[in-house]
Amino acid sequence: MTEGQQPRDYDYSPWLFTDRADDAARARQHTYQRSLGGTIGAGCFVSEHASVHPDELRLGDRSYVAAGAYLTGTLRTGRDCSINPYAVVRGDVTLGNAVRIGAHTSILAFNHTMDDPDVEVFRQPLTSKGITIGDDVWIGSHVVVLDGVTVGDRSVLAAGAIVTRDVPAGAVVGGNPARVIRWRVPASRPAGTDLASAGTDLASAVAGFAERARAQADDVLARCWDAGRGLFTDTPGTPPTVRAQCDAIEIADLLLSRAPGQLPAAEQADRLRRWQDPRTGLVGELDERGSPRTPGAGLFDEPAGYHVLSAGYALDLLGSEFPEPIVVVADATAATIVEGLERQPWHTNAWGAGHWVDILGTALHRNARRGIRGPRETVTGWLLMHADPHTGMWGTPAPADGLLQIVNGFYRASRGTFAQWGLPVPYPERVVDTVLRHARDARFFRPEHQNACNVLDVAHPLWLTRAAGYRAGEVTALATRLLRDALGHWTDGAGFGFRAPHPSTRGDRATVPGLQGTEMWLAVIWFLADLAGVAPGLGYRPRGVHRPEPAT
């Protein structure tokens, strides 16, 4: 301790500890941190005069907790975070890097239920959705953040703010309830996420978007047309792909109710039909000359697999079909199918496993339309037996990405089987629970972190299970929030990138508008709009890969 330093100065000004504490103070602090358990990074300080009783505690490097703070539940922080005197942090709370929390602020990630008027509120069960706060967030004194809120990166919560709903990245919010009062990062302002305009008529916003998208649809398609090769590319300057041809057909069908104008519809259909390999029934990826490669044998050649979906449904929209069955599935026995299901990486890559099932289910559907009866009951039986009754899904969550793999894998597996075949999914209420929990993960669902795959893989399962009416209010609220975000991702004249555009991701190829992103986000917007009750304003309904109705 330096000369003149008082014993409790560190408790109320913990930022002094690193530079001024003597060896004895450091040793005492080290011993105290060990007594708390959890994971505490280098250079941290936790006042012994704070009430620290969490179920789980993870403090990133150079983070501190001042005297009088009250911590319970689960707290995970990044580096350089501060919890100043008399702040309250309770429930399931995650802080990013460099989050500074002012004195007397309360971050409350739980709530009392009050469903039964005959039972005193304090005796009724608690609920918890969790609170996630992004990187570089300044939270002033006497702020209250309520359960279920996500606070975006580089935002500011002004002193005294009562934050009851999500805060956009880069915004400065204040008041009760908090609303956007200005932008700390003006370039971060994404359309449709301003809290001050949250009451805007959503139906009008949806209808306005659809009108704009239809007016620009031909420009979106022309931008990705390689006239020299007579083929579509996903984005300008990239090689043509099979999927790009199919995405163009789907976009034109959605927005223009016709085939793309670059070629006659019959010519586009004939080309997709010619590309099918008669030996396997698959369509290989295009080579540098724009000709399909020969697919490998077996279930399934990786580059060719998705084309069972994309090319098959594109042909449907053009009023045609493959000339041959999907031979590799028509020739497969039930035992071969089970062997394929068993060897999928359900516990390490549930999305990849669901991808394989989606292709299999679609191949069985296409063959059934030709009178070739495959072991469909074998597939549904295996999936029913292996669904987790706790999550309603297949596979195992991973520490690195939480529920992402199993939710995305559930969408793919259920889309190609239960949804496509018109069958109810197992454990629909658990599916809703799992999806709503996953949607609170700010790593994937902050507006600036969203991509078409992750949002689609939430929207479709919620739509598929909507008939149960389970947690309907929460589903509608989530759909409304994600829909407002999605409408703001459109780039005039170019469409949607696969990933949402944002200054922090400038230069990421996934944010460049292209055909895949446009096709997927248009479908996402329909599902979200239907969940929010405003789909009629779009004037379109997906009829291809992402069709809502069963295909059978």
* Positions marked catalytic: 112
Which residues, in sequence order, are bridge partners of residue 82? Answer: 64, 100
* End-to-end Cα spacing for the chain: 77
Q: Are 446 and 152 in contact (CB under 8 A)?
A: yes
Instruction: Determine the Cα angle at 468 with ends 462 and 474, to 5°.
Output: 50
Q: Are 284 and 295 in contact (CB under 8 A)?
A: yes
Strand segments, DSSP code E, in 284-396 are: none
**C-alpha to C-alpha distance for 83 and 70, rounded to whole angstroms:** 10
Q: What is the pairing mode between strands 179-183 and 162-163?
A: unpaired
Task: Of 513, 405, 527, give the one whose Cα is nearest residue 454.
Answer: 405
**C-alpha to C-alpha distance for 505 and 503, rounded to whole angstroms:** 5
How many beta carbons lie within 10 A of that of residue 331, not counting itself? 14
Phi, psi of 367 (to 5 degrees): -65, -40
Q: What is the pairing mode between strands 111-112 and 126-127?
A: antiparallel
Strand segments, DSSP code E, in 67-174 are: 70-76, 82-83, 88-95, 100-101, 106-109, 111-112, 126-127, 131-133, 138-139, 144-146, 150-151, 156-157, 162-163, 171-174
